[in-house]
Amino acid sequence: MMKIAVVGATGMVGRIILKVLSERSLPISELILTASKRSIGQRISWGGSDQIIVGLQEALDACPEIAIFSAGGSVSKEWAPKFAANGTTVIDNSSVWRMDRDKKLIVPEINADSLTKADKIIANPNCSTIQMVLALLPLHRNYGIERLVISTYQSVSGTGVAAVQQLENERNGVKGEMAYPYPIDKNCLPHAGEFLDNGYTTEEVKLVNETRKILGDERIRITATVVRVPVIGGHSEAVNVALKKEFDISDIRKELAATEGVVVQDNVDVNVYPMPLFSEEKDAVFVGRIRRDESNPNTLDMWVVSDNLRKGAATNSVQIAEYLIDQKLI
């Protein structure tokens, strides 16, 4: 039994972390919840009782064995090292530590076996990266990936509560705060994150850099376009994969179906294919529209969908915690 802290417990991802923790069998003796200063003293129902929100210093002083952070980059940058120095293993959902050479970027089904007791700050990848690399795993292992061309169709919940509220306001004809520079209802925005000097956005660069780090191959050529769409939950991705070896599509389907965490939904004869509508509140990564790219040798296309708040954030974090506990790395 151990103490587990959730930093950012009242946020959109934080609340899903609490839900996932309640669904799974982690040996929790005490749950320590923190949030912004204005939330201190509030109560959240969990595990049949009310949990009181405390401040970060109080959570630090409680010496939890694991702290799952989902409170934004500035909080993680300041407080994750403090928790780590105090002996806590931090699992961080922000982008602060992902590309740090000394920090591991973990999708448990892929590279959890690289973790050791010395890893006190562990980075959780971006939501769109997690679902894609899980689908890419058997392809890279069996054929080697040469190049990826990625187009994402990301839900507004990936931006946060303000974006969800903007979409709902627009659908209801209500004027309110704008999370985006344009309306999102009945629209698509080819703009997620901040634009960089090379014309890409920070969200697109995350897909490039994080994919290479997780798969352990800097030679993979990757380009990405990230689009925000008027969907509340669930990210979708069209992924074009150029492989180093020839393949049979039936083998690809079998290998994907045998991959932990992946569900193949690919029967176009009866209109079976992944959709965000049916991915919500599920932990799987759904893959369909698997077909050969007839314009390029050794290349295929696939459609990848997952709940960005669960496997894309909360569930992946909790799975990392489970692995640490199971392997006695805490």
pLDDT at 8: 97
CATH number at 6 reads 3.40.50.720
Which CATH number does the domain housing residue 204 bear? 3.30.360.10
Question: Is residue 47 very low, low, confident or very high in pLDDT (cuts 50, 70, 90)?
Answer: confident
Residues 133 and 99 in one domain: no
Q: Are residues 94 and 157 in the same domain?
A: no
* Residue 105 shares a structural domain with residue 136: no
What confidence score (pLDDT) does residue 328 get?
97
Q: Indicate the average pLDDT of the chain.
A: 97
Residues 161, 99 share a domain? no
Please state, for a pLDDT cut of 90, what percent of the chain lies above it.
98
Q: Is 63 an annotated catalytic residue? A: no
Q: Out of 44-53, 80-89, 112-121, 170-179, which region has the weakest mean confidence (pLDDT)?
A: 44-53
Please tell me the distance from the alpha carbon of residue 179 to that of residue 176, in angstroms, as a whole number: 10
What average pLDDT does this structure show over 54-71? 98
Residues 297 and 152 in one domain: yes
Q: Are residues 236 and 133 in the same domain?
A: yes
* Active-site residue, from 63, 140, 191, 235: 235
Same domain, 141 and 241: yes
Q: Check whether residue 287 and residue 138 sit in a common domain.
A: yes
Q: What is the mean pLDDT of residues 18-29?
A: 95
Segments forming the whole domain that contains residue 283: 128-308
Reported as a single tens digit per residue, the pLDDT across 85-140 is: 999 999 999 999 999 999 999 999 999 999 999 999 999 999 999 999 999 999 99
pLDDT in tens, 90-102: 999 999 999 999 9
Say what the pLDDT of residue 326 is. Answer: 97
Same-domain pairing of 100 and 199: no
Structure tokens at 310: 């669960």
Domain identity same for 111 and 185: no
Write down the catalytic residue from 127, 140, 188, 191: 127
The yes-or-no answer on residue 235 being catalytic is yes
What pTM did the predictor assign? 0.96
Structure confidence at residue 34 (pLDDT): 97
Is pLDDT above 90 for 25? no
pLDDT of 236-274, one tens digit each? 999 999 999 999 999 999 999 999 999 999 999 999 999
- Mean pLDDT, range 140-146, rounded to an integer: 98
Q: Quick one: pLDDT band at residue 150, thresholds 50, 70, 90? A: very high
SS3 for the chain, per residue? CEEEEEECCCCHHHHHHHHHHHHCCCCEEEEEEECCHHHCCCEEEECCEEEEEECHHHHHHCCCCEEEECCCHHHHHHHHHHHHHCCCEEEECCCCCCCCCCCEECCHHHHHHHCCCCCCEEECCCHHHHHHHHHHHHHHHHCCEEEEEEEEEECHHHCCHHHHHHHHHHHCCCCCCCCCCCCCCCCCECCCCCECCCCCEHHHHHHHHHHHHHHCCCCCEEEEEEEECCCCCCEEEEEEEEECCCCCHHHHHHHHHCCCCEEECCEHHHCECCCHHHHCCCCCEEEEEEEECCCCCCEEEEEEEECCCHHHHHHHHHHHHHHHHHCCCC
pLDDT surpasses 90 at 186: yes
Q: How confident is the model at residue 228 (pLDDT cuts 50, 70, 90)?
A: very high
Is the domain of 132 the same as that of 243? yes
Q: Is the same domain home to 152 and 62?
A: no
Q: What is the pLDDT of residue 31?
A: 97
Number of separate domains in the chain: 2
